[in-house]
Amino acid sequence: ARLAKLAAALEGQQALLEGGLAELRRRARAAEESCGRTERSSVGLAALCRQAEGQVRAIASKSLFWEALQARLQAHLKGFGDRCCELEANSSAAHAFSLSPEAQRYLAGNAQRVAKLVGQRADFETIRQVSTSRHPEDEDWDTKVDQLRQKYRAEFTQGVEAYAAKQHRSGDTVVLDTRRRFLAKLDQAVRLALSKFNKVQPGLTLFGKRSAQVPACMACDRPFTSDPGPGLAGAADPNTLAAAAAGGGGG
């Protein structure tokens, strides 16, 4: 009888345990489903956030494009300044100044980006001045654009020099010479990259006004160019030919 009672009690406990385990499994499945819904909801919210962020960036990049020019130039300024400091740290009197192939690629690629930003900044400032001028046709805006480009180019080079001097303080002549040579290379590269923005006819201004600084033909009023053109590149000087002929005849 006692064994029967114990068996019945054990069966009751086993039933309770099985019921508890079933309840735990049910709750685990419910929690798993809830976590799945939460995860899917989080993924959806993250996707919406990324989409909204992209839209905000697109709007900001359009409305704040010109304001971002200076920030982008500052980023390039820091990059070139760090490169200059690296060259200075590795400079020595025993080795002549030279740029590694990687440094050459960096200079050639980023100088064009800097030139584009400098040109855009100069164009923006010129257009701003045109919009506030009462008589824009009386101004030589082409000259102003070129002057602003050269001004901003010089400011960029000076900024790189100031950054390098602050980051790498040194009075060593080798270091200072390396810095001077690197800045000269940088200035030449940006100047060369800016040449793509030069106007085709330098004597004709934006509003058709002829610049007095450019020599022009008195007959047709067309400006002379510094390039004689391919037709004259290999032509001999007529005066030289005449002198040679006279000398040959006299001999």
Report if residue 123 sits inside a domain: yes
Report if residue 15 sits inside a domain: no
Instruction: Name the DSSP class of 64.
Output: T
Report if residue 166 sits inside a domain: yes
**What pLDDT sits at residue 217?**
61
**What pLDDT sits at residue 225?**
56
Q: What is the largest CA-CA distance in the chain?
A: 155
Report if residue 232 sits inside a domain: no
Q: Which two tokens stand for residue 115?
A: 């030139």
Report if residue 41 sits inside a domain: no
**What pLDDT sits at residue 228?**
45
Report if residue 243 sits inside a domain: no
Q: At what angle do helices 67-89 and 173-194 cross, to 10 degrees?
A: 140
Report if residue 205 sits inside a domain: no
**Structurally, how many domains does the chain consist of?**
1
3-state secondary structure at position 220: coil
H-only helix segments in 133-198: 141-167, 173-194
Determine contact, residues 86/41, Cβ cutoff 8 Å: no
H-only helix segments in 64-167: 67-89, 101-132, 141-167
**What pLDDT sits at residue 104?**
93
Q: Which two tokens stand for residue 84?
A: 């200059």
**What pLDDT sits at residue 241?**
44
Spans of the chain, pLDDT less than 70: 1-3, 7, 39-40, 42-44, 47-49, 51-66, 198-251
| pTM reported for the whole predicted model | 0.56
Report if residue 165 sits inside a domain: yes
Print the domain residue range for 105: 65-198
Determine contact, residues 223/215, Cβ cutoff 8 Å: yes
